[in-house]
Structure 1
Amino acid sequence: MKGLLLNQYYAVEKTIWYYVPLSLVVTTILLYFDQAMTQRLAAFLPILLLSTAAFEVLKHEAKSGWNKFVLTLPVKRSRVVQSHYLFFLTLTVLGLLIACVALLIAQFGFGQAPSAGYTYSLMNILGITFTMGIVAYPLTYLLGTEKAEFVIMASGGAGIGVFFLSAYLFDLLLMPLYAFQGLNSDLVFSLGFLVVNFILFVGSYIISIQVYKRKEF
């Protein structure tokens, strides 16, 4: 497992070390302006950038032929899938940590106190990121890494589409219910969107293992 993760890291090492300082600086600057819109963008930026670096691994594997070579190694196919998901989660958490560090800099360095909307936006982008993973990995294993670039683009559209559709259905179907009256609708939606998509992400991991085991190269 360690070797698989290191291989993925080295494949996108330059991208990661470019995105880390870039996202930290830009996020901190956006928080400095203390505007609702810039705060939402600040929350989205580091998580989105770092998670997309994980998807780049799939494209590198297709170009280098690693996806076929790895099957000749004494490694179970389930381990290959597990390494992809674990690397994706690691970079997503790294993006979240950068967002939190930028928040601390804004609070103690600039005296800014980002609104609760910043926290909601963090949960929303995490949910969108998990949606992208739900789509990207099973489809890539099914269609082949050669189609990775198309699948990644499709997963990005799916993540945004599912978010807006979920928000629309939430306002239409759930908010009018008596049980939701008096609750913080933004918090309920953002938390629910994150939890549901994380559960589906775990489910996609199980599906991906089965797809990859049956894949013929």
Structure 2
Amino acid sequence: MEKSVKSSTLLTIVAVIILLLMNQSATLKLAAFLPFVLIPVHAFEVLKYDAMSGWNKYEIVLPVTRKRIVKSKYLTFILLVILSVFLVFSIAFSVHILMFPTIHAVFFNYLLRGMGLIICIAALIYPLTYKLGTEKSDSIMMGSVGFSLGMFFVITFILEMIGVEGFDEKFSSIFFIVSNIFLLISYVVSIKIYKNKEF
């Protein structure tokens, strides 16, 4: 996983720099969004590698609680999300200071949306993988992406029905907050599933 994260980080740096230097509205949005597609997804591979290597059966006999095992998976994911935010923000800030303005409302909106989508995906992947096993990881990933996009459009629809002012900013913030609530619920559910799991 370490090698994958390093190569994805390098790819992200190059891609974000190129996208920001294009200085277009669409490329700015993609630059804020892209790191969350490339880096945090490696946290989901940990579950697959653990099952393939047999580590998931070995780790439960170690002097570590099952809650702590689950917590370590979630922390890995959160650290990769933080790395993504740090990378994209530091590159955008450098371009903003040295060349031309890149950091404004649109950038922050898409940063929050990117984080919200990947967090929403993680919120479903972890409990479903613990429940159904890594053999169904592809189906779980597809279902999680569908769930995440579904939440995205449901929140959009609700806010449009209400008719809020400053739609983009409010939508991005609400979607990010809702995604984090789902991740917290997911963490509690994952702990319950993993505590009752028999290998």
Measure, in 1, the Cα distance between the counterparts of 2:17 and 2:149: 24
Measure, in 2, the Cα distance between the counterparts of 1:110 and 1:22: 22
The aligned amino acid for 1:102 is I
State which of 111, 122, 125 in structure 2 corresponds to 1:133.
122
Q: Does structure 2 conserve the Cα–Cα contact (< 8 Å) formed by 1:32 and 1:112? A: no
Question: What residue in structure 2 maps to residue 152 of structure 1?
Answer: 141
The aligned amino acid for 2:34 is L
Measure, in 2, the Cα distance between the counterparts of 1:67 and 1:144: 11
Moved more, 154-163 or 133-142: 154-163
What secondary structure sits across from 2:102 in the alignment? coil
What secondary structure sits across from 1:41 in the alignment? helix
| Backbone CA RMSD of aligned residues | 1.4
Quote how far apart the aligned CAs of 1:168 are.
2.2
Question: What residue in structure 1 maps to residue 191 of structure 2?
Answer: 209
Q: Does 1:36 align with 2:25?
A: yes
Measure, in 1, the Cα distance between the counterparts of 2:123 and 2:176: 13
Unaligned runs of 5+ in 1: 1-11
Q: Does structure 1 conserve the Cα–Cα contact (< 8 Å) formed by 2:122 and 2:183? A: yes
Q: CA offsets per residue over residues 119-177 of structure 1, 9 Å max, x none? A: 100111111111111100010111112322331232123222321232122212x22xx
Measure, in 2, the Cα distance between the counterparts of 1:36 and 1:142: 42
Measure, in 1, the Cα distance between the counterparts of 2:88 and 2:143: 26
Q: Does 1:120 align with 2:102?
A: no
Quote how far apart the aligned CAs of 1:114 are.
4.0
State which of 5, 15, 25 in structure 2 corresponds to 1:26.
15
The aligned amino acid for 1:20 is T
TM-score, reference length from structure 1: 0.86
Measure, in 1, the Cα distance between the counterparts of 2:98 and 2:46: 36
What secondary structure sits across from 2:39 in the alignment? helix
Q: Deviation above 3 Å: which 4+ runs of structure 1?
A: none
Quote how far apart the aligned CAs of 1:95 are.
0.5
Q: Does 1:110 align with 2:99?
A: yes
Q: How does 1:1-217 map to 2 (within 5 A)?
A: 12-172=1-161, 174-175=162-163, 180=164, 183-217=165-199
The aligned amino acid for 2:196 is R
Measure, in 1, the Cα distance between the counterparts of 2:19 and 2:30: 8
Measure, in 2, the Cα distance between the counterparts of 1:157 and 1:106: 34
TM-score, reference length from structure 2: 0.94
Percent identical: 37
The aligned amino acid for 2:168 is D
What secondary structure sits across from 1:75 in the alignment? coil
Measure, in 2, the Cα distance between the counterparts of 1:205 and 1:170: 27
Q: Does structure 2 conserve the Cα–Cα contact (< 8 Å) formed by 1:34 and 1:114? A: no
